[in-house]
């Protein structure tokens, strides 16, 4: 985090990444003094409503964030920023996206949690577009031009008003991660109660274990001994009404529809009280660790890994076999995970795998047979990327092995 006083004093001269959050109501023109160096500009958590046309002077700008402001329109000046690749306006008041507001090199667009009912045709005319986050808006349709988005890999359209399945997305050659719950076309009457309901007073939350877009997972203990459940539990308490992946209630229903599997986090019970929605799960043993790290700005849609982290081909093969079993189980239950990544999986020293995070999961039993097959094919690409990412961290001595070659062949055909 930086300050205006630092900027105005010249202390930030030559900086590449600037973050300012000081309840700004107007764009500080002092930022233009960084034109020769600035690549990432984060003006989130302010009170901005507009940007000056002079922002185009930031000729090296690649990433612009303005989450949690008061924009009602995506500023047209951004469309003239020739090197801008990533634009984020999460949780504003945007209801209008002008045709010429999208920069020509756009790769990643975040418009989650706004008031947008329509998008311009120009969205499908940005050939480098890879990642599109539109959950929590008022969209009734998507531009037909998105059928041209041959590089689009990840799409979030949950929690909108789409009345028809967007066919223009289903045939895209690279789409691999797709979340679409909470729309009229994906409406489900299912009220799955595969696990019992418990009151929130039955447990006490302890240490926070992790958190994502949809909720916070904590270790917990029962307040009274439970005959039916293990002593060690974790509880995911869901956040507000809409997240970057959709509605929490849809995540919960998809998770329950999937049911039990040896390589999935075990659901034990649910809490469904006014203002308190939670999932009680078996506690994952402490010796399990994250298999991967989330994508970075540069990788955009692909997982990253810690430096020097490697796996033997035997462990990779075992992990892949388990993930393939998870994939088969998911789609046998007509559920698309939507976020099939190494960073959403845990593993131990014996390469035992546990997959979690159903934030982007979508039930798809309401779609026609052709659409269902396309959804499965989309997630199959994610499975192939998962395998490819693991092969990228294979130990050097194993990269000439037969097992390595067979796995590589599996994802290139």
Could you say which DSSP state residue 204 is in? E
Handedness of CA 382, 383, 388, 389 (dihedral sign): positive
Dump strand ranges (E) for 83-180.
Answer: 86-88, 108-110, 131-133, 154-156, 177-179
- Tokens representing 89? 């306006």
236 among annotated binding-site residues = yes
Q: Is 188 helix (H, G, I), strand (E, B) or coil?
A: coil
Q: How many CA atoms lie within 13 A of 345 on its CB side?
A: 28
- 276, 200 Cβ separation under 8 angstroms: yes
Rounded to whole angstroms, how far apart are CA atoms 262 and 345? 13
Cβ contacts of 370 within 8 Å, gap of 6 or more: none
Q: Is 346 helix (H, G, I), strand (E, B) or coil?
A: strand
Could you say which DSSP state residue 99 is in? G
- Tokens representing 183? 């729309």
Q: How far is CA 381 from CA 80, 240, 299, 309, 411, in A?
A: 34, 31, 17, 24, 9
Q: Is 218 helix (H, G, I), strand (E, B) or coil?
A: strand
- 107, 131 Cβ separation under 8 angstroms: yes
- 361, 251 Cβ separation under 8 angstroms: yes
Total residue length of the chain: 413
Binding residues: 236
Binding residues for ATP: 236
């Amino acid at each position: 985090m930086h300050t205006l006083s630092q900027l105005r004093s010249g202390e930030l001269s030559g900086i590449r990444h600037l973050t300012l959050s000081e309840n700004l109501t107007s764009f500080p023109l002092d930022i233009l003094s960084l034109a020769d160096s600035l690549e990432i500009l984060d003006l989130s958590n302010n009170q901005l409503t507009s940007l000056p046309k002079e922002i185009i002077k930031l000729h090296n700008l690649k990433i612009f964030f303005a989450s949690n402001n008061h924009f009602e329109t995506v500023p047209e000046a951004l469309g003239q920023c020739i090197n801008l690749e990533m634009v984020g306006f999460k949780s504003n008041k945007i209801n209008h996206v002008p045709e010429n507001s999208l920069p020509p090199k756009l790769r990643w667009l975040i418009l989650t949690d706004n008031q947008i009912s329509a998008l311009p045709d120009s969205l499908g005319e940005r050939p480098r577009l890879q990642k599109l986050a539109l959950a929590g808006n008022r969209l009734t349709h998507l531009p037909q031009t998105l059928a041209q988005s041959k590089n689009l890999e990840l799409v979030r359209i949950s929690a909108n008003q789409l009345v028809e399945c967007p066919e223009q997305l289903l045939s895209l050659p690279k789409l691999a991660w797709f979340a679409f719950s909470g729309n009229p076309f994906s409406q489900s009457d299912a009220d799955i109660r595969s696990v019992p309901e418990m009151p929130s007073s039955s447990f006490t939350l302890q240490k926070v274990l992790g958190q994502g877009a949809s909720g916070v997972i904590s270790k917990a203990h029962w307040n009274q001994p439970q005959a039916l459940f293990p002593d060690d539990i974790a509880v995911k308490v869901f956040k507000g009404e809409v997240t970057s992946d959709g509605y929490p209630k849809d995540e919960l229903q998809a998770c329950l529809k999937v049911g039990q599997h040896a390589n999935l986090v075990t659901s034990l019970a649910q809490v469904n009280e006014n203002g308190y929605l939670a999932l009680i799960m078996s506690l994952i043993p402490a010796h399990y660790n994250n298999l991967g790290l989330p994508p970075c700005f540069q990788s955009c849609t692909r997982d990253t890994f810690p430096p020097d982290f490697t796996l033997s081909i035997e462990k990779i093969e075992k992990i892949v076999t388990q993930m393939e079993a998870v994939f088969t189980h998911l789609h046998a239950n007509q559920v698309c995970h939507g976020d099939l990544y190494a960073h959403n999986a845990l593993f131990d020293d014996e390469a035992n795998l546990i997959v979690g995070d159903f934030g982007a999961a979508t039930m798809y039993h309401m779609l026609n047979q052709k659409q269902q097959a396309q959804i499965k094919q989309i997630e199959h690409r994610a499975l192939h990327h998962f395998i490819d990412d693991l092969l990228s961290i294979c130990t050097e001595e194993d990269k000439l092995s037969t097992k390595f070659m067979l796995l590589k062949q599996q994802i290139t055909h």
